[in-house]
Amino acid sequence: MALWDYTVRRTIILIPMFFLSTVVIFSLIHLAPGDPIEIMFTETGHPPPREVIDQVRKSLGLDRPIYVQYLIWIKKLLRGDFGFSYGGPFIGQSVLDLIRSRFWYTIMLMFTAQVLALVIAITLGVIAAVKQYSIFDNVCSITALFGYSMPNFWFALILMLVFGLKLGVFPICGASTAGADFTGFAALSDLLRHLFLPVLSVTVGYTAWLFRLVRSTMLDVLSQDYITTARAKGVRERVVVYKHALRNALLPVVTVVGMRLGFILSGAVVSEVIFAWPGMGRLAVTFALNRDYTGLMGLSVIIVLMVYIANLVTDIAYALIDPRIKY
Amino acid sequence: MKSRIVTFVLLSIGFLLIFTSIISSIHMQTMSQEKPEPLFTLKYLYNTANPLQRDVGVLLQEEWGKIGVNLVLEGYETATVRSRIWGKSGFPTFPTHDEGGFDVYLQSYNWIPTDLVYYLGCFTAEGIPPLGWNYWAAHDSRADMYLRKCMSTYNMTERKEWIYKWQEQKQEEVNEIVIAWPMRAYFTKANIKNYCIRLNCYDIDLWTVEGKTEEDHVTVRYAMSEDPTVLLPMFGDGGYLSYLPIHRCLFRLVYDFEKETFSLEPELVKDYELSEDGMSMILHLRDDVKFHDGVPMTSADVKWTFDAILDPATGSTYYGDLSAVIKSVEAPDDYTVIFHFNKPSPEILTLLAPPGGYCAILPKHVLGNIPHDQLRTCKYNTEEPPPGLGPMKFVEWKKGEYVKFEANDDYFKGRPFIDEFIQVIIPEATTALAALEAGDVDILHTGYSTELAGEIERLKKERPDINVNLAPFPATWFIALNNDHPVLNNKYVRQALAYATPYDKIINDLMMGLAEHANSQIHKSSWAWNPNAKYYTYDLDKARECLRKAGYPEWPPPQPAETPAPTGPSLMPTLGGFIGGIIIGIVLTYVLVRRR
């Protein structure tokens, strides 16, 4: 029951936190020089007359003081209205629709990558730690060092070059074969084929990072006294590793994974741009470049909520993994 | 204890001496190497996202430094740069960089390849009438007079004469330093025929694909870096940007450019009549043109389109340009349109065929009920374009992925060869090229051109199935100078800067050879280009001479010969300090050790 109380308490604290963070983000975005109207109209050397620019600015309410703009925005938000895009390629379109259309693509990319990375990193990390300094450990550690230090964008380009161009086994970009009308299984396989390279490019760096973390915490835990005790008691090695050691070693891993989970929605910007994946990271870049206030705010709201949920889930996961932790 | 304190103090003094002597020697050295005071300081504004602007800035800093100009580079991101150039600087005053404007800025300007005189207005003190878009604060009454004369006569010989004089005058005054006309590289699959880079999909009905016949289902994929911005052409913001291919294949203008010669050709009209006094024009429309939904186009659609643009409430990009010339539009019968003008305008046909396609004819039966001030936010501008008159019909727009079109069977010039046209959105240039090489797309948008310039040689050698061509692009690169700047308002200073600019280095090293040295704002493919206007070349002696004419002292200042070499005296205290410090240190340490 204590856990439930804790959850409710945290949720109540969220409300002022949420308003505070929107105020901060809203003012930060407005502090940046240039507004969406300037950018919209001054793309080339032939902008419309001043009065037209001023009129459009007025019609969007951008001539009002910032606090009035904020109040109008928050009032709309509370009614579930995210507003429409102020600039850039999606001008005039509903921000919620835009986010909705990108949402599943990002979840697909990032969630697959997270799950893959977790499974691979924990498996390899545990084995490497148990067989410390073995050939397996050395190979894994060196590979991880490479994966960890390699720039993401470079690796993405190499993947594209090898799998897309030279071998021609995976499509180079996009989320589907443009213009093809696949249905059923064909559509699914088309999607999976397009998903492969972006997921790989996101997974490798993340897996390497996670592997190093799992290995080092596992080594740390394995040298503890209670492990020696367990072994002395005659507990089977498998139980020692997976029950006594891994459960304790997972705590720091859960912390960092939880932190990453919150930012899952902002996506892997680099991979999304390089592979032309229609995800939210790319959307965020487009919004930011065009000073699209409503678009950026809409994305921020969702990311703030996600971070909160991820933190909560992490805290609950602590309690589940480690019975010593009580709320 | 006491002795320790004494030793510590003495040691400190010793090391202090060493430090001071080192510092003084460094200072002496810099003093002896310091350059003479520069003649004046200018600030170079650049976009941090634009490597070319930055690199040119670095080069100019070095080169202009040789004639005594201290060029300070200041980079900002796009929004700030734009607000400095367009946002705050309203006609007629142009703030300098320190006041929030700019001093020096590398800029390119796109031209219509034929009758472009109208657009030159922005280089005059009046700006483009009546709004006064004068971008670079050029206050040269003589050049303005030439241009005004050119813009008010119908006689081509006279026009040519005036526009030639204008170019000579501009090069004499150097209101901006003209650098080069760019070339663009374009990349297509070798089997795509009749593709013309400058038309941006406008000629899509003429494209053919080698190895395919009329019966085959032909799909052409076109890579673009960004989703379309606006769907109604009247809100387009000009240039050769990504939304344009959409307008180009969906909509038609009353007049447009012919493909090879870039002369103006009737498009939706049979012919036109200009009144004696030049104050009105009658257009006779074609009667066989249908919108994509099957409704025939009539004069009502033309009138509605122009009325919407001419209404300031609409907020169309083209309002300023059109309202300066066109007073009203009349539709006496279904296939006749009469334009009434504010003043005689020799550029009227050019005005009806803007490169941005702003006044493409839109269907009144679809848009007619929407109030003008809601056109910008209506779904036809944001979600789904209205039926147009072009060779392609809109099918689907999957945001962030692609826009799909199909052939218009009823196109008035005949059904296009291509059955399906897909604009794929790929933000990264390298990805787009990889997709082309892998066969996922057939044509790359010109926007990728500069980023892929380094790949041209390799593709030419290794990939016979890919067509790489260089084509002149109707634009001019120039260094905009703030003519209101207290230093730059002197003609001789501007000339000096023009002479001190290394054109060859900029073109060959920084523009990857994708440009040609220019002598005019007008592109050399135009009838109006004056081949005799002055070409500035890199010549530091002439530059220094110009600065002397402007009243600046000689630079670098002549070195007084009798000044004794500063090394001797400056080195002695340094060495002394060094040796002294070391001796004191040794003595102190010795004392310290002995006491122990």
pLDDT tens digits along B562-592 = 555 444 445 555 566 667 667 776 776 677 6
Beta carbons within 8 Å of A89's beta carbon, 6+ residues apart:
A286, A290, B226, B227, B228, B229, B242, B243
Is A101 close to B400, i.e. CB distance below 8 A?
yes
The letter for the amino acid at B7 is T
CATH assignment of the domain containing A274: 1.10.3720.10
**Predicted local distance difference test score (pLDDT) of residue B93:** 62
The reported pLDDT for the residue numbered B4 is 67
Please report the DSSP string for A169-188 in residue order. Answer: -S-SSSSS-TT----HHHHH
Angle in degrees, CA A67, A68, A73, rounded to 5: 95
The residue with greater pLDDT, B569 or B215, is B215
What is residue A7's predicted lDDT score, i.e. its pLDDT? Answer: 83
Contact A91 B229 (CB under 8 A): yes
Q: Which of A120-134, B229-243, B411-425, B503-517 has the lowest mean pLDDT?
A: B229-243
State which fold the B40-181+474-549 domain adopts.
Dipeptide-binding Protein; domain 3 (3.10.105)
Q: Which of chain A's residues have a Cβ under 8 Å away from the Cβ of B440?
A: 171-173
Q: In this structure, are A268 and A310 located in the same domain?
A: yes
Instruction: Indicate whether A68 and A139 sit together in one domain.
Output: no
Please say whether the dihedral angle defined by the alpha carbons of residues B225, B230, B231 and B236, taken in this order, is positive or negative: negative
The pLDDT value recorded for residue B123 is: 62
Nearest residue to A291 (alpha-carbon basis) of A98, A102, A91: A91
> What pLDDT score was predicted for residue B132?
46
Query: Of A39, A69, A90, which one is at a domain's C-terminal end?
Result: A90
Name the more confident of B28 and A57: A57
Whether the predicted pLDDT of B137 surpasses 60: no
Alpha helices in chain A (DSSP H): 2-31, 36-41, 50-59, 66-78, 95-130, 135-149, 152-159, 184-222, 225-233, 237-239, 246-262, 269-274, 280-289, 293-321
The answer to whether residue A33 neighbours chain B at the CB level (below 8 Å) is yes
Q: Which residues in chain B touch residue A161, judged by CB atoms under 8 angstroms apart?
A: 434
Mean pLDDT of all residues in B257-274: 77
ipTM of the predicted assembly exceeds 0.95: no
Q: Quick one: average pLDDT of B160-164?
A: 88
Nearest CA of chain A to the CA of B275: how many Å? 29
A113 shares a domain with A66? no
Span B31-55, average pLDDT? 82
The residues, any chain, with a CB within 8 Å of residue B93's CB and separated by 6 or more, are B484
Give the tens place of pLDDT for each residue, B90-113: 445 677 888 878 889 888 776 654
What residue segments make up the domains of chain B, in order of their start?
Answer: 2-35+564-595, 40-181+474-549, 190-472
Same domain for A86 and A108, yes or no, is no
- The answer to whether residue A109 is domain-embedded is yes
| Run of H or E including B231 | none
pLDDT per position as a tens digit, A259-290: 887 777 776 788 888 898 988 888 888 888 77
Q: Which of A90, A109, A144 is the last residue of a domain?
A: A90
> Pick from B446, B78, B312: which is nearest to A48 by CA?
B312
* Residue found by looking up tokens 């060094």 in the block: B578
**Average pLDDT taken over every residue of chain B:** 81
CA atoms within 13 A on the CB side of A300: 22
Cβ–Cβ pairs < 8 A, chains A and B:
169
Residue B188 CB-half CA count within 13 A: 24
- Compute the nearest-CA separation of B590 from chain A (Å): 51
Asked if residue A95 belongs to a domain, the reply is no
Q: How far is CA B570 from CA B32, B34, B576, B584, in A?
A: 10, 15, 10, 22
Q: Does A96 touch chain B (CB under 8 A)?
A: no
What is the pLDDT, as a whole number, of residue B129? 44
Q: Is A5 inside any structural domain?
A: no
Per-residue pLDDT, B535: 94
* Cβ of residue B422 closer than 8 Å to a chain A Cβ: yes
- Which has more confidence, A174 or B154? A174
pLDDT at B138: 63
CB of B311 less than 8 A from some CB of A: no
What is the rounded CA–CA span in Å between residue B2 and residue B20? 27
Residue A6 lies in a domain: no
Residues of B in contact with A102 (CB under 8 A): 400
User: Tens of pLDDT along B284-303?
Assistant: 999 999 999 999 999 999 99
CATH number, domain B190-472: 3.40.190.10
Question: Two tokens at B483?
Answer: 């003519």
- E-assigned strands of B267-401? 269-274, 280-285, 326-333, 336-341, 392-398
- Which residue from B144, B185, B109, B75 is spatially nearest to B479, judged by alpha carbons? B109
Whose tokens are 């010669």? That residue is B261
**Residue A66 and residue A127 share a domain:** no
Give the model's pLDDT for residue B555.
79
A274 reaches B (C-beta below 8 A): yes
pLDDT at B114 over 50: no
Q: Residue A48: what pLDDT?
A: 61
- Note whether B382 contacts A91, CB cutoff 8 Å: yes
Taking CB atoms and an 8 Å cutoff, what residues of chain A touch B318? 48
- Residue B255 above 80 pLDDT? no
Chain A, 173 to 192: residues with Cβ < 8 Å from chain B are 173-176, 178-179
**Among B2-6, B258-262, B592-596, which range has the highest average pLDDT?**
B2-6
Which residues contact residue B508 at a Cβ distance below 8 angstroms, ignoring those fewer than 6 apart? none
Domain count, chain A: 2
* Domain identity same for A121 and A268: yes
**Which helix H or strand E contains B109, and what residues bound it?**
strand B104-110
Q: Give the per-residue pLDDT at B90.
A: 46
From the number of C-beta atoms within 10 Å of its C-beta (0-12, 13-18, 19+), residue B548 rates as middle
First to last CA, chain B: 11
Which residues of chain A make contact with B427, given a CB cutoff of 8 A?
273, 276, 282
154-213 of B, contacting A, C-beta below 8 A: none
Q: Which residue has the higher pLDDT, B366 or B262?
A: B366
Q: Give dist(CA B336, CA B280) in Å, integer.
A: 13
Same domain, yes or no: A40 and A182: no
Angle between helices A246-262 and A293-321 (to 10 degrees): 170
Residues A48 and A117 placed together within one structural domain of the fold: no
The amino acid present at B215, given as its one-letter code, is: E
Residue A152 near chain B (CB below 8 Å) = no
More confident residue, B18 or B536: B536
d(CA A250, CA A220) in angstroms, rounded, equals 12
Across the interface, of B239, B315, B426, the residue whose CB is closest to A48 is B315
For A299-321, letters b (16+ CB in 10 Å) and e give bbbbbbebbbebbbebbbbbeeb
Same domain, A152 and A71: no
In this prediction, residue B422 has a pLDDT band, given cuts at 50, 70 and 90, of very high
Residue B37 confidence (pLDDT) = 85
Q: Which two tokens stand for residue B99?
A: 């006041």
Structural domain including A248 reads: 100-326
Going by C-alpha positions, the residue among B307, B312, B313 that lies closest to residue B326 is: B307
Candidates A44, A85, A293: best to mutate against B (most CBs of B within 10 A) is A44
pLDDT value of position B131: 44
For residue A157 the two structure tokens come to 């380009």
**B370 falls in which pLDDT band (50, 70, 90)?**
very high
Residues A141, A228 within the same domain: yes
**A75: exposed, middle or buried (C-beta count within 10 Å: 0-12, 13-18, 19+)?**
exposed
CA separation for the pair B234, B375 (Å, rounded)? 10
Q: Check residue B363 and give its pLDDT.
A: 95
A145 and A80 in a common domain: no
Give the number of other CB atoms < 10 A from CB of residue B458: 10
pTM for this predicted structure: 0.75
Phi and psi based region of residue B206 (left: phi greater than 0; alpha: psi -120 to 50; beta: remaining): alpha
Q: A141 with A260, same domain?
A: yes
Q: Name every chain A residue with its beta carbon within 8 A of the beta carbon of B437.
A: 165
Q: Residue B130: is its pLDDT beyond 50?
A: no
Asked, for residue A292, whether it belongs to a domain, the answer is: yes
pLDDT score for B525? 75
